[in-house]
Amino acid sequence: MRYDSGCVSQRSMPFWCVNSPLSDPFGGPVMEKLDSLEVARLMAWAGREGLIEATSYHDDDLVKWDPAHPEDDLDPASDTYKKLREIKAVLDEAGLEINSSITNLHGHSMFRDGGLCNPDPEIRRLAQMKVARTLRIGQFFNAKYFVYWVARDGFEVPVITQWDQVYENLAAGLDFVTDYIEKEKMTNYLGATVEPKPNEPRGQMFLPTSGHAAGFICGKLKKPDFWGVNPELLQHESMALMNAVMTVSYLISLNKLKFIHFGSQIKAQFDNDFPPLVGPEGLKETVMMFYALKQLKWQGVIEYDCHMLRSEGTPQDAVNSRKQFIVDCTTALAMALELADRIKTPGVYASQSSADLQSIRDMCNLPEVKITR
């Protein structure tokens, strides 16, 4: 299914957003997690309602992972094999496509000191096997992208971090992705992306911003053209005080903006993961980001990456509140696109500030304001 409206080719809602239990470091789950097949049914509902055209998942969002059976996805007798087929049947029937297949390298305690960059070679080997399994699952679902989120590849203690190995291990891990895709002749993948984040869950992450990610791809990987970046805007870049308008423009100039993770954020806070346009700030930056995407004639997938507010979690209505969350995200995207469309390119202006104020009047459909002199 396609959306193809302005800069948005498809609207995507990932499994982990809809199924978030809304826990935080100070409190446990507010909502029970749904079984992955139930989440697939919710996605199918959203597809049929015309709210989304695609979804994404981590391997663990769909099926359990057992390091003792790293190839269970290939075994027709396994639960994994059966569950993947049941989920695919539900998504296919609704015409939903898969934007990205992602390996969860952050949940299992084994990965507490990193996944692809873990200092222990045995953990790095297991992480690569988990990546291979996710790539196979993505091939089965016809996913467009493989995503590497920097996750627990980071540090707290510089004095023990093996600085001469960190970026070599990271490059080896990401080159493994392209080697495996090539070896297995996986033709479904249009590319792979790095998703940067400055901190959380680690004190510092090894690829903190889109600039770091793009530089690493271009300078260090065997197949730089296959790789791009999926920035998370506003959240991850705002945590590092970056500006979304500049981030998308910079990545487009390098042909590295593959798709966008979309939500809202209070600058310099922890990862709020607010639904788009929700929260006390970020409206202007979000609208200006879509204005820039339109100016630059970019089109791609806008994938929500957020969850409902913990305060609006409704355990007694776990399905309908999740449906409302999807409606809210898609409404916010439509509002942001509409607001961006209203902004006219400035002609002659008295000052940069007056051009900025005019863009706000355009955006808000505000008539010339009368000032009292």
Judge residue 354's burial from the number of C-beta atoms within 10 Å of its C-beta, 0-12 exposed, 13-18 middle, 19 or more buried.
exposed
Q: Which tokens belong to 222?
A: 């065997």
Q: How many residues bind ligand NOJ (CB under 6 A)?
A: 8
Q: Which is nearer to Mg ion, 214 or 339 (CB)?
A: 214
The reply on whether position 232 binds ligand NOJ by CB under 6 A is: yes
Name the β-bridge partners of 274. 264
Q: Tell me the closest approach of the beta carbon of residue 148 to ligand NOJ, in angstroms.
A: 8
Instruction: Work out which of 130, 152, 261, 322 binds ligand NOJ, going by CB under 6 A.
Output: 261
Q: Tell me the closest approach of the beta carbon of residue 164 to ligand NOJ, in angstroms.
A: 27
Q: Tell me the closest approach of the beta carbon of residue 245 to Mg ion, in angstroms.
A: 19
Q: What angle do CA 122, 202, 241 make, to 5 degrees?
A: 140
Q: Which is nearer to ligand NOJ, 261 or 322 (CB)?
A: 261
The reply on whether position 237 binds ligand NOJ by CB under 6 A is: no
Q: Tell me the closest approach of the beta carbon of residue 85 to ligand NOJ, in angstroms.
A: 24
Instruction: Work out which of 65, 145, 149, 274 binds ligand NOJ, going by CB under 6 A.
Output: 149
Report CA 122 to chain centroid distance, whole Å.
Answer: 28
Is residue 170 within 8 A of residue 153, CB to CB? The reply is yes
Is residue 48 within 8 A of residue 90, CB to CB? The reply is no
Tokens 């009047």 belong to 361
Tell me which residues touch Mg ion (CB under 5 A): 232, 261, 305
Scored b (16 or more CB within 10 A) or e, 146-171 reads: bbbbbbbbbbeeeeebeeeebeebbb
Instruction: Work out which of 102, 174, 194, 363 binds ligand NOJ, going by CB under 6 A.
Output: 102
Partner touching 102 among Mg ion, ligand NOJ, none, CB below 5 to 8 Å by kind: ligand NOJ
Partner touching 96 among Mg ion, ligand NOJ, none, CB below 5 to 8 Å by kind: none
Q: Which tokens belong to 188?
A: 């479904």
The reply on whether position 73 binds ligand NOJ by CB under 6 A is: no
Residues in contact with ligand NOJ, shown as a per-residue x/- string from 36 to 65 under the rule CB under 6 A: ----------------------x-------
- Rg of the chain over Cα atoms, rounded to whole angstroms, equals 21
Q: Which is nearer to Mg ion, 94 or 149 (CB)?
A: 149
The total number of residues shown for the chain amounts to 373
Instruction: Work out which of 305, 325, 332, 336 binds ligand NOJ, going by CB under 6 A.
Output: 305
Please, which of residues 160-199 interact with ligand NOJ by CB under 6 A? 195
Partner touching 328 among Mg ion, ligand NOJ, none, CB below 5 to 8 Å by kind: none
Report how far residue 212's alpha carbon sits from residue 206's, in angstroms, rounded to the nearest whole number: 9
In degrees and rounded to multiples of 5, residue 370 shows phi and psi of -85, 130
Q: Which tokens belong to 15?
A: 């499994």
Sites of contact with ligand NOJ (CB under 6 A): 58, 102, 147, 149, 195, 232, 261, 305
